[in-house]
Structure 1
Amino acid sequence: MEDGPGTIRDGTIRAIVIGGPTASGKSALAVDLAEELGGTVINADSMQVYRELDIITARPDPVDLERAPHRLYGFLGAAEVCSAALWRDHALAEIHEAAKAGRVPILCGGTGLYLRALTHGLSEMPEVSPAVRAEARALHAEIGGAALRQRLAKGDPVLAARLHDGDSQRLIRAWEVLQETGQPLSAWQERPAEPPEGIDFFTVTLLPERASLYRSCDGRFEKMLERGALEEVEALMAFDLDPALPAMKALGVPQLIEFIRGKASREECVRIAQRDTRRYAKRQMTWFRNQVHANSTLHEQYSERSDEKIFNNIRQFLLTGHR
């Protein structure tokens, strides 16, 4: 097969990474690139992996799904937990499948931990037995996040200082590793990591002006409600899942649950969900600005072909490997 833009060149796959805060236009850029370059869009958002969270996580709509292949959207059930390691394994498999088919792999999402795990690798992590995992979850349910973090501080003070009381998933993970291995998770995380062999990444970040981004965040939640986010959360509640599961803590889900249960007004639900979305977008902006060395950055929200230079830079990278 003659090399096309998405095939392996000199034994190396050339892949595109698009990262940035929520509501910055990442998905629109990804699908435009995929349509033009013959690409496959691979999800890198930790909440869009759950099949029950379509509207509330703003997954690609049917029009975009028709324009280009999309992978790793809604591939797990809400009762499951998707770790960075699990996602990375799936993402690497999809990258190789896309390249094998002569398509450009385009990773798209705002979960910085996932993207870093992909491009830089992950430290070796220990296996945790189902019994220890169940005990850790039961302990968290019994004593709460604040008390668990205090206990964790005795064995892993580094990670306990880094986490907050409401970060139940990471608190439970740190506690179960400590109980299973007798070593703090922070020590495991310091072990050397290796990036994947045979893949070269071109990274694009979207870092729009904050006021404009916040307006988009606010408008997005209203549109979600119009599209049926409330009904989607009602269906999710019918599964009677553990509230500590990641899917149950997706942006907007806790607030809509409060509204459905009559514990908050619609106005209060919308206000808090919009506020939390803005805060999350701010944290994402800080992470991508400080933790990612991008090959191209768009300092505005993406709209159709809003920066032709990015398209040209990516074409050059795919053809020559130069950034």
Structure 2
Amino acid sequence: MPPAILIHGPTASGKTDLSIALAKELGGEIINSDAMQVYTDLSILSARPSEAEVAQAPHHMFGHVDGAERYSTGLWLKDAIERIEEIQSRGKVPILAGGTGLYLSALVHGLSKVPDVPEDIKRDTLAQIEADREAAHETLSLVDPEAAARIKPLDIQRLTRALEVFYHTGKPITSFQTPEPPYFKKGEWVGFALTPDRAELYARINSRYDKMLETGAPDEARVLYERGLPSDLPIMRAHGMPGFCEYFNGKVSLEESIERGKRDTRRYAKRQFTWIAHQFPLWARIPSKCLDVRKKVICSIHHEIDERDFNG
């Protein structure tokens, strides 16, 4: 079976165009590995592939989850494995592309079995952190120093997760983080990380955000806002939504909400670069922004691995 192709890279780095080009070249099918593009409610703000792009190659797991759901890494992994096996049963190449490194890491490194936490504990923990992040981080330092050393006070999502698990179980989250064996074994996959020039990428993020505004992002955000969903749902933390919610609530101007959206997206891209450096150190880097160069590099390496495994 030809190895699966995994592509990670910061937001706005060109993963959509690349995955489509590869699918056409290799007879592949694309599986989404972006945590926001799974949601039905946000197609523009999440930069989900357009109808024209989806028509060019088979796409899976895009916009298939309602925004009211808390779609987790575990759920994504289960759904992704089902799609991978379906695609391979047809003799096609699975191409997993997206910006959520944790999703891809679960496939190749294994997923830790952290227990589910009741909704009331999640809400109370989030409220505690929003009231005083520094104090919440100090609390984590007392109950789970190992996790506190890795998690910064500004990383609200990971800080919340570590504290809520402790409050629910009385045990540090690190005690649950021995992963199960990964789904993919050696030789069954090959990973690539897109690492374009940061200054150029940040400029592209700003430009893409402006295009989102022109194509209806504020209206899309308002429709989601008017659903009245809890603010701690993953979809409500999508880049752009917090700023738009502040605008809809009359707390900031539209211009201020737009600037926050751009800033949050640039900061997220910076964290994605860090993830690549620390979590995927052996993945092949592709700094070029040229689509043809990217495609040639991946096809060449993929073919080499496929031939080597076929010939033993």
Q: Please say whether Structure 1 and Structure 2 have the same fold, judged by a TM-score greater than 0.5.
A: yes
**Structure 1 contact 136–175 (Cα < 8 Å) conserved:** no
Q: Are 1:74 and 2:59 an aligned pair?
A: no
Give the match for residue 4 of structure 1. Answer: none
RMSD: 2.3
**Structure 2 contact 107–184 (Cα < 8 Å) conserved:** no
Distance in 1 of aligned mates of 2:121 and 2:53: 41
The residue identity in structure 2 corresponding to 1:278 is R
The residue identity in structure 2 corresponding to 1:134 is E
Distance in 1 of aligned mates of 2:71 and 2:155: 15
Report Cα offsets for 1:199-257 as digits up to 9, x if no partner. Answer: 71111111001111111111110011111111110110111011111110111111122
Distance in 2 of aligned mates of 1:169 and 1:277: 15
Report Cα offsets for 1:6-50 as digits up to 9, x if no partner. Answer: xx3xxxx62000011011111111111011211111111111111
Distance in 1 of aligned mates of 2:23 and 2:12: 19
- Change in CA separation of 1:65 and 1:278 when aligned onto 2, cut-off 3 Å: same
Distance in 1 of aligned mates of 2:226 and 2:307: 50
**Structure 1 contact 42–106 (Cα < 8 Å) conserved:** yes
Which shifted more, 265-274 or 239-248? 265-274
Report Cα offsets for 1:93-128 as digits up to 9, x if no partner. Answer: 1111110122110010111111111111113333x3
- Change in CA separation of 1:157 and 1:307 when aligned onto 2, cut-off 3 Å: same
Q: Are 1:232 and 2:192 an aligned pair?
A: no
Q: Are 1:143 and 2:125 an aligned pair?
A: no
Give the match for residue 175 of structure 1. Answer: 163
Give the match for residue 284 of structure 1. Answer: 272
- Change in CA separation of 1:284 and 1:197 when aligned onto 2, cut-off 3 Å: closer
Which shifted more, 281-290 or 228-237? 281-290
Distance in 1 of aligned mates of 2:255 and 2:158: 31
Q: Are 1:86 and 2:75 an aligned pair?
A: yes
- 1:163 Cα shift? 3.2
- TM-score w.r.t. the length of structure 1 is 0.86
Give the match for residue 253 of structure 2. Answer: 265
Query: Which of residues 241, 246, 255 in structure 1 aligns to 2:234?
Result: 246
Query: Which of residues 85, 95, 119 in structure 2 aligns to 1:134?
Result: 119
The residue identity in structure 2 corresponding to 1:21 is P
- Structure 2, unaligned runs of 5 or more: none
Give the match for residue 297 of structure 2. Answer: 309
The residue identity in structure 1 corresponding to 2:87 is A
- Change in CA separation of 1:168 and 1:82 when aligned onto 2, cut-off 3 Å: farther
- Structure 1, unaligned runs of 5 or more: 1-7
The residue identity in structure 1 corresponding to 2:109 is H
Q: Are 1:110 and 2:95 an aligned pair?
A: no
Report Cα offsets for 1:164-218 as digits up to 9, x if no partner. Answer: 45545434433343244332111211x2532215571111111001111111111
SS in 2 for 1:86: helix
- 1:269 Cα shift? 2.2
- Pairs aligned (count): 306
Distance in 2 of aligned mates of 1:307 and 1:143: 47
Query: Which of residues 9, 13, 16 in structure 2 aligns to 1:24?
Result: 13
- 1:302 Cα shift? 4.2
- TM-score w.r.t. the length of structure 2 is 0.89
The residue identity in structure 2 corresponding to 1:283 is R
Distance in 2 of aligned mates of 1:317 and 1:302: 23
**Structure 2 contact 123–232 (Cα < 8 Å) conserved:** no
Pairing 1:143-222 to 2, within 5 Å after superposition: 143-145=128-130, 146=133, 148-165=136-153, 167-189=155-177, 191-196=178-183, 200-222=188-210
Report Cα offsets for 1:122-149 as digits up to 9, x if no partner. Answer: 13333x3xxx512312323553443544
**Structure 2 contact 38–63 (Cα < 8 Å) conserved:** yes
Distance in 2 of aligned mates of 1:60 and 1:197: 26
Distance in 1 of aligned mates of 2:68 and 2:145: 30
Distance in 2 of aligned mates of 1:298 and 1:232: 33
Distance in 1 of aligned mates of 2:282 and 2:19: 16
SS in 1 for 2:29: strand
